[in-house]
Amino acid sequence: MEMDNLKNKYLEFGDYEDNFYGTKYDSIREVVRAGRTCLLDCSVQAVSKLRNSEFMPYVVFLAAPSVSCMKAMYEYGMSMGFTEKWKRDETFRKTLETSTYIEREYNYLMDLILLCDNIETTFEQLNYHLNNLLTEPQWVPAKWLY
């Protein structure tokens, strides 16, 4: 795995708790060749590597809501048993700061920005826009086509 990373075969590569993980370009290509949609949750650096004529991604950024909204959503998740680990207010503030920074500095990489202040509504909006991709023409840089 480390050798493949040195050969730039990974979109993203890292380690967590002494385990290596990564997303190979060939895995993405395989999904696309099979006629399926490849959905990735990746870093901004990875998005910039994917924005080319080979992959032609549609990039959706899920922007963080207010701290109070995130806290309420998290508390609801805890009440439903989705998580047991409590987060501090500082964690929510940092999430909002990071989200704001990414949106401001990298919005040129994004095709769609959705405020994730309600899971159901955000899912409906995302589904609507993804369905439009199947029927509506999309803008892509001319150099991707010629």
**Bridge-partner residues for 112, per DSSP?**
60
Q: What is the CATH architecture of 54-144?
A: 3-Layer(aba) Sandwich (3.40)
pLDDT at 1 over 80: no
* CB distance 42 to 60 below 8 Å: no
Q: What percent of the chain has pLDDT above 90?
A: 66
Overall average pLDDT of the 37-59 stretch: 93
Q: What angle do CA 97, 99, 101 make, to 5 degrees?
A: 70
Give the CATH fold of the 1-38 domain: Guanylate Kinase phosphate binding domain (3.30.63)
Q: Where are the domains of the chain?
A: 1-38, 54-144
DSSP string for residues in 8-25: T-EEEEEEETTEEEEEEH
| Residue among 83, 41, 59 at smallest CA distance from 133 | 59
Ranked by mean pLDDT, which of 52-56, 100-104, 135-139 comes out on top? 100-104
